[in-house]
Structure 1
Amino acid sequence: MSQVGAAEPPRTGPDTVPGPASDAPNSAPAPRGSSPAGPDPDPSGSPDAPRTGSRTAWLTVGGVLAALLALAALSLCVGAGEVGPARVLDYLLDRGGARADSRLALVVGDLRLPRTLTALLVGGALGVAGAQLQSVTRNPLAETGLLGVNAGASLGVVLGIAVLGVQSSFGYLAFAFGGAVLASGIVLAFSGGRAGGSPMRLVLGGSAVGATFGGLTGVLIVNSPEAYDRYRVWVLGSLAGVEGWTTLRQLAPVLGAGFLVAAATTRPLAALALGDDLARGLGHRPGATRAAVATAATLLTASAVALAGPISFLGLLAGFLARAAAGPRVGRLTLLAGLVGAAVLTGADVLARVVARPFEAPVSVIVALIGAPTLIAIVRSRRMAALGMTDTAPTESSPGRREETAGTPRPDVVLRRGALSVLLPRRSALAALGLAGVLLAAVVVSAHAGQSDLDLGRTFRAVFGYGDRLDVLLVQKFRLGRIVAGIAAGAALGLAGCLTQTLARNRLATPELLGVNDGATAAVLISVTASGAFGAWWAGPLGALAAVAVVTVVSGGLGARGYRVLVVGLAMSALASAVIQVAMARRSLNSAGSLYVWTSGSLNGRDYEVATPVLVGLAVLVPLALVAARRLAVLRFDDNVASSLGVDPGRVRLACLLLAVALAGLAVGVCGPVGFVALAAPVIAGRLAGPARVPVLGSALVGAVLIVLADTLGRVLIDGVEIPVGIVTTVLGGPFLLWVLLGRRSNPA
């Protein structure tokens, strides 16, 4: 009975197949074996072993509680006002009438005490929410930030700020709660399965929902300087705005309700770890348990976001450390996760006040610096192998090969002229011609869109230099430059995505999910800060190269570790995003506003001059990619097969990786980090060109079409308002990623 409280999937042994516990509807209690917290009680049945393990766990709880009290005392003694520990103690004990001192009452009573208590409650709330989500999904990667709940709450708050002018804490809470409910409901419903879906499906589904909600947030603030000014500080996550007890007093009942619901679910969660059928046999209702956990996590997360802004990784970090220290027992795990979360956030807040004096560092950045390496450590752990996180990703070409062997493949066309001959794939060539026609139509529509009375006929003639002189000047001088920049950036992104997807044998391995976009963006912003001028296109490829080098080394290689590289890429993106947000918050409002538009992905002001480096790069890199694609296609099979065919797998991977990084970095230098184009373009091109070949040219054409159409949509969707192209692709790309993941579930090959 000592395993009844375990929230772990069944352990695997030499004769078992690794997999989540939810794969078996009538799963039995987890057998005794090793756990992340150390060995389970002695299987010999010694009565002292469970007692010793329980005593050790409670000693750990006591140690964490002591550390928490020490950090809380330190928080009361550190900060502005030059009030030392002795005077703080005088105020707390009211020695010598210290509370009558107005300055001391302001510093300690109105600033430090509310801030410290807020840090304890917010950290505890996020820690408990993370532990609850990890237990109900049996997934150590479940966390409010990674599952898009923070993004949903953020969207709700920004909606209240930008549209309705909400400024009260209750207003923030109401909108944060609505957004968090919507996000968590979408992700948990999407993941499917009795145990909440596989770890990777939850993480990527949360990324898709978070990206879509983040794009909608960008739509609300990109054309509102006032809303952006308030958002850019709030989004960093900080406790600096906590003054007095009003806000905390208003939100305390909601936090209390969240903690009570979480405490009430500990016993049902312990039963749920045995499987749905056994839980029902014990008198519990699995559906009601999951709904209660979702309610508790939403109440706690929404309150935390309303108090301190979005703080990612804290729930993940607290749950992981608590499980490692105290084992999988749900009640003890939840308690310890709350204490660890409170301790980590309080310590991070103290560091935020001292590392950059006289300024304050964003507390979310400090938590991210701790949480991102922890995420990497989790996915590199042995437990992830049992959850399928480190298996090599399935080969995407398998279904296509089955299709071609089932029927008669269409013959390729051979072009001969004298002694020279070229083998032209019929389907790929027809797809490329069709895409070129679609691109031409998209260029005409984009050149026509705008504040003018040109009809489509006059626009089409002006594109080629015919018609009225003023028409030609308007189209070719002011509109085609922007369009050409978009074509160049889209082609580069589409080609980069094609290379990374084929290289990793995983159509989810795109530059933005590998941290390339955020790394390139951070490098460009750093170059702006250093040089004072914008437009250092070379900084993008350098930042992209640095990001992908770190991701590749830490994850153990693109092709060898499958899904692991995607999670490491998400961690790298989180770190780079923190750097970007800090750089934006440090600049003046006018400078930050223009840079925010660019960091959202924008073609505003782009012209032939800006597009030239990318066009030159494409002229050089596309032929190299076409040559590399022939060898890259061989790697779809196996390294041994490739070597027997005369292909060096390591050299081909390195060459393709460098090509993809250079292309993605150049694209970021032109229009900023435009998301999801590198994901969608190869998938669409592969469907059109067929599975027999790597769709290099088709991916570039689809990427160009997507960028041009998204930029056009952003210019005409709202009259008088321009939505950056990156926000458009992000809003539309999140659902596309969900569609891709649903396709993988229905066709796992």
Structure 2
Amino acid sequence: MTLSHVDPEAEAVDDQALPDAPHGRRTLLIASASLLLAVLVLAALSLSVGAGEVGPGDVLDYVLGRNGARDNSRLSLVVGDLRIPRTLTALLVGAALGTSGSLLQAVTRNPLAETGLLGVNAGASLGVVVGIAFLGVQSGYGHLLWAFGGAVAASALVLFIAGRRGGGSPMRLVLAGSALGATFGGVTSVIIVNSAETYDRFRFWVLGSLAGVEGFGKLTSLLPVLALGFVVALLIARPLSALALGDDLARGLGHRPSAIRVVVALAVTLLTASAVALVGPISFLGLLAGFLARAVAGPRLTAQIALAGLIGAGVLTGADVLARVVSRPFEAPVSVIIALIGAPVLIALVRSRRMGAMGMTDPATEEGAAPRRLLPRLPRLPRLPWGAKERSESLLVRRGALSLLVPRRAALAALSLAALLLAAVVVSAYAGQSEMSLTRTFNAVFGSGDRFDVLLVQKFRLGRIIAGLTAGAALGLAGCLTQTLARNRLATPELLGVNDGATAAVLLSTTLTGTFGAWWAGPVGALVAVLVVTTVSGGLGQRGYRVLVVGLAMSALASAVTQVVLSRRSLNSASSLYVWTSGSLNGRGYSVAVPVLIGLAVLVPLALVAARQLNVLRFDDSTASSLGVAPGRVRLMCLLLAVGLAGLAVGICGPVGFVALASPVIAGRLAGPLRVPVLGSMLTGAVLIVLADTVGRIVFDGVEVPVGIVTTVLGGPFLLWVLLGRSAAARV
């Protein structure tokens, strides 16, 4: 199974030729010695910094056994049981993740490959959480076993995706990994979100933290597994170098490409599973370590792997030191610090010339047309959106001097979606933990019947349903606008970082003002996020998948801000806010829906007015201009509409994922390709939110699963279908 779609000759041309041997070795030795010295300095700093008021002198006395320091119980606890095990764990885990990232990048010839971005960390994390929550697993080997199982499952899915036609292209592989990670993360959240005790136990570990490392017990039990992973990684380096020449040449040199890939997968799984079992999932570290190792070592793969391990150890140790001091007296998850460092590196990689040379950015043509190979195909449009074909499929409605052309299929689709929405509302009002018949539910809706029934339905259920309807309609319309103006079915608010930007802004406003849910915070955060993404990526629709990967980086940065805010709050406050950041309608009612209702009342008519111009905008810019449409002005208006709608929706229910992605796709399939499905996307979004919230309330007896977790668990496979589907699936 071939993972790479990059021409080996192009790879060889891209990599610089090996420098003069003595000079190259000398440069590499100097760089390696400098990195080793930096790691030692960071390790010494890690031993000297932390709680307990133990300074560098006391630590040195303890390490050297001077002045009776080891007989001091306080020093033994702080240095011997906390700081030394934590520092050694940071060094080993960093080296494991750095090595794993370098191996993945080499075997896929993809500079974006990394265990976090490809969903392997999330799979291992899910395995550990399942083992702890349901089987009470406590030992290091128990954690390793479950982490190994989750990592194997994730790795197998990634390899399956990579083996499909087009699936191994670097950008698409990263997006597929993001979908897998979102699904695994959603299932993990289902387990931990409804228990404050479980959340307190897991909230730092699931985010990636060394705060729980105490003593050498777990580290000692997992050390043989880590050592085995490192040995396998170094032994596979030479065969892996031959694989870079192509499968045929590698076979000619006596190697077996399939066996090499299996061994690499084994090494990556051993190292990743051990790292996750020790400190939880940490993303971007392998990406950062592999990038820096290539810059230092050049094309020497053995040196790359060794340096990536060294760099990973240093970066994680330094990030752990920062995590202890950046938010005193609290401690930030170390994964947050890594994300703040790694996300800019991901952006730099996507914008680099080498990525463009390898065909990874999929640039648009000079006319601004959408890329052909990597993007899902748009429906084939008629030459003019108001041509004869449309008239033949439309119904002419006349009243006096006025006439209206109504598309038959779009109108039928809208009526069907409206009926489905009404049914979803009835089911949501009826469903719940109380024993209420359908007749009693209808009576309660209209204010008659038992007073408790009326209170339950009108005060709680209907208010929640209205909030879900408005949020779903806003997300559906926002997704329709962004997909159309970007000419990309994947360009939705959650994949552009808009949802996470709005979430971070709402939490920051809560910290600053002391009041949760300021209506203006979400739109402001969404606007900042989309401005950053469009500026860095070069504009929506202009650089293919580049804008989506920059959006992933923006999401990581915004999520890091969110986690810092949560880590600084008390357990009760953090637990309730964590539920909201997962996407929840619990406790939401008429009052929080009012700003979005007002926004929809203002923005929907504008979107409907722009719908005809959006139809033309699906052509290239020159064609749109010749038809009297100003592409730049229409894009700006649609972008502002989408940002405002998505930000207001996040203010209601938090970052509900995949609704903005699925709604226009489903509505477009129902309404046909002649028009942009503005109204259908709104109705579909409302249906999806109401149904997902209903499922979350009734799927587990006595336990509520937030709507955002339901949509994430179901939306990840949907994203994979859109991303990798063929024929009809690819033309959604």
Give TM-score scaled by structure 2 length.
0.93
Match of 1:612 in 2: 594
User: Match for 1:391 among 363, 366, 377?
Assistant: 363
* Corresponding position of 1:565: 547
Matches of 1:302 and 1:70, distance apart in 2: 28
Letter in 1 for 2:552: L
The answer to whether structure 1 residue 537 and structure 2 residue 519 are counterparts is: yes
Contact 2:393 2:409 in 1 (8 A): no
Q: Distance in 2 between matches of 1:141 and 1:332?
A: 19
Deviation at 1:372, TM superposition (A): 0.7
Pair 195,71 (structure 1): closer, same or farther in 2 beyond 3 Å: farther
The Cα shift of 1:371 comes to 0.5
Match of 1:132 in 2: 103
Asked whether 1:421 is paired with 2:409, we answer: no
Q: Write out aligned runs for 1:557-636 (5 A).
A: 557-636=539-618
Q: Which moved more, 1:162-171 or 1:262-271?
A: 162-171
User: Offset of 1:70 from its aligned partner?
Assistant: 2.3
**626-635 vs 255-264, which moves further:** 626-635
Find out whether 1:515 has 2:486 as its counterpart. no
CA deviations on 1:225-265 (whole Å, 9 max, x unpaired) are 21111111223322233222222111101111111121121
1:731 aligns with 2:720: no
- Contact 2:336 2:563 (C-alpha < 8 Å) held by counterparts: no
Deviation at residue 55 of structure 1 after TM alignment: 3.6
Q: Is the 8 A contact 1:261 1:296 kept in 2?
A: yes
2:39 to 68, 73, 90: 68
State the shift of 1:86 in Å.
Answer: 4.1
> 1:78 offset after TM fit, Å?
2.9
The equivalent residue for 1:45 is: none
Contact 1:137 1:195 (C-alpha < 8 Å) held by counterparts: no
Correspondent of 1:166 among 116, 137, 145: 137
Matching of residue 40 in structure 1 with residue 12 in structure 2: no
2:50 paired with 1:79: yes
1:715 aligned to 2:697? Answer: yes
What are the equivalent positions in structure 2 for 1:197-208 lying under 5 Å apart?
197-208=168-179
Alignment of 1:247-646 (within 5 A): 247-385=218-356, 386-392=358-364, 393-394=370-371, 398-401=378-381, 410-456=392-438, 459-460=441-442, 463=445, 474-646=456-628
CA shift for structure 1 position 346:
1.4
Q: Is the 8 A contact 2:524 2:647 kept in 1?
A: yes
In structure 1, runs of 5+ residues without a counterpart are: 1-19, 42-47
Report the more deviating stretch, 342-351 or 721-730. Answer: 342-351
CA shift in 2, pair 1:336/1:235, >3 Å: same
Deviating beyond 6 angstroms after TM superposition, the runs of 4 or more aligned structure 1 residues are 402-405, 465-470, 745-749
Q: Cα gap change, 1:106/1:671 in structure 2, threshold over 3 Å: closer, same or farther?
A: closer
Quote the residue 2:367 is aligned against. none
Looking at structure 1, the residues matched to 320 and 599 of structure 2 have their Cα atoms a distance apart, in angstroms, of: 45
Separation of aligned partners in 2, 1:475 and 1:31: 64
How many Å separate the matches in 1 of 2:503 and 2:677?
27
Shift of 1:739: 0.8
Return closer, same or farther for 1:106/1:454 CA change in 2, 3 Å cut-off. closer
Q: In the TM superposition, what is the alpha-carbon distance from 1:473 to its structure 2 partner?
A: 5.5
Q: Is the 8 A contact 1:138 1:195 kept in 2?
A: no
Shift of 1:63: 2.1
Amino acid at match of 1:40: A
1:705 aligns with 2:687: yes
Matched, 1:227 2:198: yes
Does the residue aligned with 1:574 lie in a helix, a strand or coil? helix
SS in 2 for 1:685: helix
Deviation, structure 1 residue 475:
3.3
Structure-1 residue corresponding to 2:181 = 210
TM-score, normalised with respect to structure 1: 0.91
Shift of 1:30: 5.2
User: Is 1:145–2:112 an aligned residue pair?
Assistant: no
Tell me the SS of whatever aligns to 1:401: coil
8 Å CA contact 1:397–1:636 kept in 2: the answer is no
3-state DSSP class of the match of 2:403?
A: strand
- What is the one-letter code of the residue matched to 1:363? V
CA positional deviation for 1:316: 0.5
- Larger deviation: 593-602 or 166-175? 166-175
Looking at structure 1, the residues matched to 622 and 705 of structure 2 have their Cα atoms a distance apart, in angstroms, of: 49
How many residues align? The count is 719
1: CA distance, partners of 2:602 / 2:130: 45
SS in 2 for 1:235: helix
Deviation at 1:145, TM superposition (A): 0.9
Structure 1 residues 633-642 or 483-492, which shifts more? 633-642
Q: What is the DSSP-based 3-state SS (H/G/I as helix, E as strand, rest coil) of the residue aligned with 2:725?
A: helix
The answer to whether the 8 A contact 2:3-2:107 is kept is no
Q: Aligned partners of 1:525 and 1:711: how far apart in 2?
A: 23
**Structure 2 residue runs without a partner (length 5+):** 365-369
Contact 1:490 / 1:677 at 8 angstroms: preserved in 2? yes
Q: Given residue 185 of structure 2, which amino acid in structure 1 is its aligned partner?
A: G
Aligned partners of 1:692 and 1:525: how far apart in 2? 41
- With over 3 angstroms needed to count, the CA separation of the structure-2 counterparts of 1:675 and 1:747, relative to structure 1, is closer
